[in-house]
Structure 1
Amino acid sequence: MKKKISIFCSLLLALQMMLSLAVVPVFADEELTSAVYEEPESPAVTYNMNVDWKFKKAADGSEYPLAKASASVAKDGKNFYDADYDDSDWDTVSVPHPINAEDSFDGACYDAGEAGLYRGFMFYRKHITIPESDAGKKLFLEFEAVRNSVYLYVNGEIVGYYEAGIAATGFDITDYVKPGQDNLIAVATDNAADRGQSDTTKVTKETKPGSEPGAADGNGYQWNTKDFNEVQGGITGDVILYAKGKTYQTLPLYNNLKTKGNYIYATDFDIRGKSATITVEGEVRNEDADKDVTLEVNVVEMVDPNKDSTDADADHTKQPYLRYSFKSDATSVKTAKDTGADSHFMTTVPDDAYDDNPAATSTETVDVTKIVASAKCEDMKFWSPDSPNLYDVYTVLKDSEGNVLDVQKTTTGFRKVEYDINDGGLKINDQPVWLTGYAQRSTNEWAVIGVANDWLQDLDMQ
């Protein structure tokens, strides 16, 4: 009898321990259908700029630098960036627009199959009319991806340039655009790669600060070869126009805006308990009067409310459900001290980059205010290679009266990642993961190393 009581007590204790580990979801199942999230209205507007571009290659792909290449398409005394330039004989395209899709692997057995690729300058033009309701707002133009450069002109004026070809870039076009009127966006870009070019004057080089954009009078780019950076040229990503109020969340576009955007991450993982702390470090810029603001964070999951339905006619469209909501403390944001010309950058290359003793590299932003919001979240669905769960994180900037100043949406996942040489190697959510696609090699064709041994592989992974 005592033995039975002992076993019963042990089972009861185990059951209590299991129940103590249970996680209560933010919303009970019966409440889930009433928790559909509606994004709040915001003065910030995003415009898709992908359609109706005019496109033309330079008359001769070998024309360098930019001034010579643009002269090759000039006509009637007009340059490609002039509003009244006649582009009626240009192609009409949409972006993303990889111009080498038509000539890739024309030379299939020579030069890695890329002997016939067009390499040179190309030009884009687009007319836009921004609503008068956006007058007085900040206007930012983002190029998600280009190869290899962007020389941006708005209504005939040079706004800025980017030449590295490996990251998104953005430009403040506020002072160049006339809302309610026709505006011309003009872009020159090139895709030259060093390898295979017998004439080294016909490759992309950096513009020295202070020189005419596209002068190619600076250094070349070490990795600008077809071995590492594909020639595939053109505007190869989306083009996005942001219209924001004077107090706004910045964009993660250090080139050329020198802003870093919001940083969203998780810590304090409890994988078995399905919990973690979500933190948002917001970057707010204020080009208006001083004010107090809060940053509200709404974490949303896309869910099929009828996923378990056996009805053949059931609507299985996923809907956004609010999972977690929290906000920062009220924070005072002062008027930025570097508005106007002080916050407009022709390029992010430092002015002293070519001096004998340049200053240390700096990644300082323009004048912004950091705002932090954080909360522990339960019943989370972590990201993993087998279950790549994602959330939409809405960051809502509000003033002291509750008015919405700006809304940004970031799609992301949360996962715990660690690497332990002595215990399973790479782990995601405490589970060992076998890497594929990392481009490790059993032999190394380059000199010195030969075959990398295990300790070198481990050091590389760390």
Structure 2
Amino acid sequence: MRINWMFQVLVLSVTFVRAQEINDWENPQVTGINKEAPRAAFFAFPGKYNPSDTDMKKAPNFLSLNGIWKFNWVERPADRPKCFYENGYDVSGWDDVVVPGSWELQGYDVPIYTDVEYPFPNNEPFIPHDYNPVGSYKRSFVLPDEWQGQEIYLRFDGVRSAFYVWVNGQKVGYSQDSKTPAEFDVTRWVKPGNNHLAVEVYRFSDGSYLEDQDYWKISGFERDVYLFARPRVHVRDFFIHAGLDSEYRNGRFGLEVEIENLPPVFGDFVVNCSVREAGLGKEVFNGTGTPVLLGDTPKVSFSAQIPKVQLWTAETPNIYLLIIQLQDGKGNVLESISRFFGFRTVEVRYGQLMVNGKPVTIRGVNRHEHDPV
């Protein structure tokens, strides 16, 4: 009995140690660490809405991190430079690569194409440790002086397949899912003046089992990387409802706006919402709401029926312009967001896909973005 008891303790101990040693990139329960919740795709400009100023790359609260990065490549995780993220780590001898850009197209490893086969042995959720290339990236940036007192976010629009990120030698978080953005609130880690950014990218992860059908397997930064600043009270997310009534003539408009309050700021804030015809600029709806900032997720909702809207279809893509503006109690506009949308109703009736009450047949093939990177 004593031997059997000791054996059970040993098995439990080994199991616990192995559980502790599971890599994030082999753990289906982990898709992000310290990552912001998903949100709608938009960029908030400081101040009032200006129809001639909608290029985020020219906004004063935007800082691109595209360009030349220092880079190191190894074939397996065990060989990666484990402390490269430290501020004093010398990367002067590393190569230069362009971001965004896949490292296979810049001279490291090779692109892999398979249809239904995996590029590694099928042993879900594990990835071979003798071949899972790791790319270590590093660069510096200067934080604009006028960003002081605001919330600073670091955004990766697309990285394949999984990655860790450090700012000024401090671990910020982890993310995987190659085709969705990852945002991190780095306010506590950045400082005035020069800052250091390090990113460790793994070619394969447990998510690669879901990303394996009929396309090229390439790695690294596939889309833009940038920083942006927001007021402490700002619009975190919004959701547009733009359907039609039963006659497919009048628009049913709805909008939910979620407010972020970091750290908690007390005061009166107002959300203004305007809907305009995109071509003529005619305003068809205007509303104002006041969020209650003391709640966990302050929200403001709007709804309206808009008569005789111009319908959106693939053949006639009529669109409207939504403008959201957040202002403080003194009437100062803190930020503005604009988004185009269309009124349509998509449904399945009697087994048939319908758009605005008319049957639609979809024909298409796989579409993957490989140009220009």
TM superposition score normalised by structure 1: 0.57
Q: Is the 8 A contact 2:66 2:224 kept in 1?
A: no
Q: 2:362 aligns with which of 435, 438, 454?
A: 435
Deviation at 1:146, TM superposition (A): 1.2
Q: 1:282 aligns with which of 257, 272, 278?
A: 257
* Matching residue of 1:328: 288
Q: Is the 8 A contact 1:299 1:393 kept in 2?
A: yes
Q: Is residue 25 of structure 2 the alignment partner of residue 49 of structure 1? A: no
Consecutive unaligned residues of structure 2, counting only runs of 5 or more, are 1-49, 121-130, 367-373
CA distance in 2 between counterparts of 1:110 and 1:333 reads 51
* Matching residue of 2:96: 91
Deviation at 1:398, TM superposition (A): 1.6
Give a deviation string over 1:65-93, Cα, whole Å, max 9, x none: 5xx4224xxxxxx6245366334642141
Deviation at 1:134, TM superposition (A): 0.8
Deviation at 1:172, TM superposition (A): 0.6
Q: Is the 8 A contact 2:165 2:172 kept in 1?
A: yes
CA distance in 2 between counterparts of 1:105 and 1:289 reads 51
* Matching residue of 2:128: none
* Matching residue of 2:209: 223
Three-state SS of the structure 2 residue aligned to 1:381 is coil
Q: Is the 8 A contact 1:271 1:429 kept in 2?
A: no
Q: 1:293 aligns with which of 266, 269, 279?
A: 269
TM superposition score normalised by structure 2: 0.69
Q: Is the 8 A contact 1:298 1:322 kept in 2?
A: no
CA distance in 2 between counterparts of 1:229 and 1:277 reads 40
Q: CA RMSD in A?
A: 3.5
Three-state SS of the structure 2 residue aligned to 1:242 is strand
Deviation at 1:247, TM superposition (A): 0.6
Q: How does 1:152-301 map to 2 (within 5 A)?
A: 152-179=165-192, 181-192=193-204, 204=205, 220-221=206-207, 223-224=209-210, 226-227=212-213, 231-250=217-236, 261-269=237-245, 273=249, 275-286=250-261, 287-300=263-276
Structure index of larger Rg: 1
Q: Is residue 361 of structure 2 the alignment partner of residue 385 of structure 1? A: no
1:122–1:108 distance in 2 versus 1, CA, 3 Å? closer
Consecutive unaligned residues of structure 1, counting only runs of 5 or more, are 1-35, 72-77, 193-203, 205-219, 251-260, 306-320, 337-366, 440-462
Q: 2:160 aligns with which of 127, 143, 147?
A: 147
Q: Is the 8 A contact 2:255 2:303 kept in 1?
A: yes
CA distance in 2 between counterparts of 1:413 and 1:81 reads 48
Higher strand residue share: 2
Q: Which amino acid aligns with 2:240?
A: I
Deviation at 1:114, TM superposition (A): 7.6
Question: Which deviates further from its counterpart, 106-115 or 129-138?
Answer: 106-115
Q: Is the 8 A contact 2:164 2:174 kept in 1?
A: yes
Tell which has more relative contact order, 1 or 2 (C-alpha 8 A, sep 6+): 2
Q: Is residue 336 of structure 2 the alignment partner of residue 407 of structure 1? A: yes
Three-state SS of the structure 1 residue aligned to 2:364 is coil
Three-state SS of the structure 2 residue aligned to 1:178 is coil
* Matching residue of 1:418: 347
CA distance in 2 between counterparts of 1:403 and 1:183 reads 31
Deviation at 1:56, TM superposition (A): 2.1
Q: Is the 8 A contact 1:394 1:408 kept in 2?
A: yes
CA distance in 1 between counterparts of 2:103 and 2:251 reads 45
Q: Is the 8 A contact 1:37 1:300 kept in 2?
A: no
CA distance in 2 between counterparts of 1:403 and 1:333 reads 17
Q: Is the 8 A contact 1:150 1:163 kept in 2?
A: yes
Deviation at 1:183, TM superposition (A): 0.9
Aligned residues: 301
Q: Is residue 324 of structure 2 the alignment partner of residue 395 of structure 1? A: yes
Give a deviation string over 1:226-259, Cα, whole Å, max 9, x none: 3378522111122232201111111xxxxxxxxx
Q: Which amino acid aligns with 1:330?
A: T
